[in-house]
Structure 1
Amino acid sequence: MSEPALNPLLVELRERIRLLEGGAARVRSALPFGVPKIDASLPGAGLAYGALHEVAGGGPGTIDGAAAALFAAGVAARTKGPIVWCMTRPDLFFPALAQAGLHPDRVYFVESDKEEDVLANAEEALAYGGLGAVVAELVRLPMVASRRLQLAAEKTGTMALVVRRWRRPTEASDYGQPTASTTRWRVSVLPSEELPVPCVGRPNWLLELMRVKAGECAEFIVGACDASGRIDLSTGPAHRQDQAGRSFVAG
């Protein structure tokens, strides 16, 4: 039986990475956020390389996942090397990615018709190595599929980011199901920071660390990713409400 044909884009990417990296995987441990309160909540004081991390939107952003995608883009932007972004819906807004620090010129976008192909392409990219991160947009992430992504990430030390995007609110309940992810995040949009002049301020997020291995859950009110992909603790009013009407205290 002949082997299935590889995606031409991934074949080209392999050759480029082989030239850049000499075929050797880099040894890395964790990517810090640079925010002490957040890094203190994570084993290794940052997001682990060679591991799977999940992120989803909350509140009105549960379906579109825009804030979740920008959070993932900011994380990917701070890694070194090319980024592979696997998806079924080509609706990413490139200027928004650039504002979150991830210039589209760094990204290889791999579009598929089915989620099974998204998983296969993400696993293949992770298994090859030499990348900064691999991002996969998925509705469902079964345990078996998440383990395959985790094992592929462990093999090469590449960070795996899964952005959960649902087509209807009822599908969001799947986010409570167990997976092999090292961390699980939810990002909800809050009112922007107030400025001294009438203008659109920097967006704020409620960032929830819903699950972390060898750690405890936490939540933070942060300023959204800046042009370097970094978040920071919000400097706005201490008491805020998310768009569902819940009250939180910053810091």
Structure 2
Amino acid sequence: MTPLRSELPRTGSADVAALRAQISTSHLARGPALSFGLSELDSRLDGGGLDGAALHEVAAATATLTDDAAATLFIAGIAARFAGKHHLTVLWALTKFDLYAPALEQVGLGPGKLLYAQARKDSEVLAVAEDALRDGSLACVVAEVKGADRTATRRLQLAASDSGTPILLYRRHRSKEKCPLGQPSAAMTRWRIGCLPSARLTLPGVGRGHWSVELVRQRNGNPFSLELEACDDTGRLALPAATGHRAPVQAGTASFAA
């Protein structure tokens, strides 16, 4: 009896090879760094921006509500720019839904770009985030947790690298005394964001917010700290301008970092 043999036809093998090449090209196209559009910031980052296929961590400078809001909007601005770059949706996973949608929209992350996933505990948030990364169809993933050990962050880093999708992990303050970034992590970059006094305007009104943006750690680079103006309606940061040199502009124009 002639033994049965199972083999792919040549056309099938060629199709599989073409599909693999297409997936690989897609990941490479999404992987390059997302620049902030500020030379003072990008020039200090390895690769000239945020790696588009990696884990990046953010924490508030203190446990205050103002610093928590600044860190959240810093993340939202980055997510909005990833969404605009790839014309895809952002997934935001968390255990407690305390986001203020109008504030997210003011930095460019409107409801049309955003999906929410609410879980019961941090381990479920991390699982949802990893699954979302491996799906590969999102602009980026945002996950809010109070704790994530080295194993969890390594899994997220590997998933981001494999799928070509970035993840922004927001480490919420566990206590007022301890910074969450004191925990070890496999993240590519680690940021600490805090509020600073706004610059005084020549006319009555509220000025654009100022943030302390500190890169606590990055692979293949040095830490640094800058004072920057908060995100505009396209999610972009700017260098503080002297009051006397401010010109009346519309939010989101070229007067801010492009």
CA deviation after TM superposition for structure 1 residue 87, in Å = 0.2
Match of 2:207 in 1: 201
Match of 1:134 in 2: 141
CA contact (8 A) 1:194 1:236 kept: no
Instruction: Give the 3 Å change call, closer, same or farther, for CA 140–62 of structure 1 in structure 2.
Output: farther
CA contact (8 A) 1:33 1:39 kept: yes
1:166 paired with 2:173, answer yes
Higher strand share: 1
Instruction: State how far apart, in whole Å, the 2-side matches of 1:132 and 1:84 are.
Output: 8
Q: Extract structure 1 runs of 4+ deviating beyond 3 A.
A: 21-26, 59-64
Match of 1:34 in 2: 37
CA contact (8 A) 1:56 1:62 kept: no
Instruction: State how far apart, in whole Å, the 2-side matches of 1:198 and 1:110 are.
Output: 41
Give the number of aligned pairs: 216
CA deviation after TM superposition for structure 1 residue 169, in Å = 1.4
CA contact (8 A) 2:174 2:180 kept: no
Q: What are the within-5 Å matches in structure 2 for residues 66-105 of structure 1? A: 66-79=69-82, 80=86, 81-105=88-112
Question: CA RMSD for the aligned pairs?
Answer: 2.0
The amino acid that maps onto 2:145 is L
The amino acid that maps onto 1:43 is D
Partner SS, residue 120 of structure 2: coil
- List gaps (5 residues or longer) in structure 2: 1-21, 244-258
- List gaps (5 residues or longer) in structure 1: 1-20, 238-251
Q: What are the within-5 Å matches in structure 2 for residues 143-154 of structure 1? A: 143-154=150-161
Partner SS, residue 209 of structure 1: strand
CA contact (8 A) 2:59 2:173 kept: no
Match of 1:6 in 2: none
- Give the fraction of aligned pairs with identical amino acids, expressed as a percent: 43
CA contact (8 A) 1:82 1:106 kept: yes
Match of 2:57 in 1: 54
Instruction: Give the 3 Å change call, closer, same or farther, for CA 93–236 of structure 1 in structure 2.
Output: farther
Deviations 1:151-179 (A, max 9, x none): 00001111110011124314x34421220
CA deviation after TM superposition for structure 1 residue 61, in Å = 3.3
Deviations 1:19-60 (A, max 9, x none): xx9998442310000000100111110000110000111135
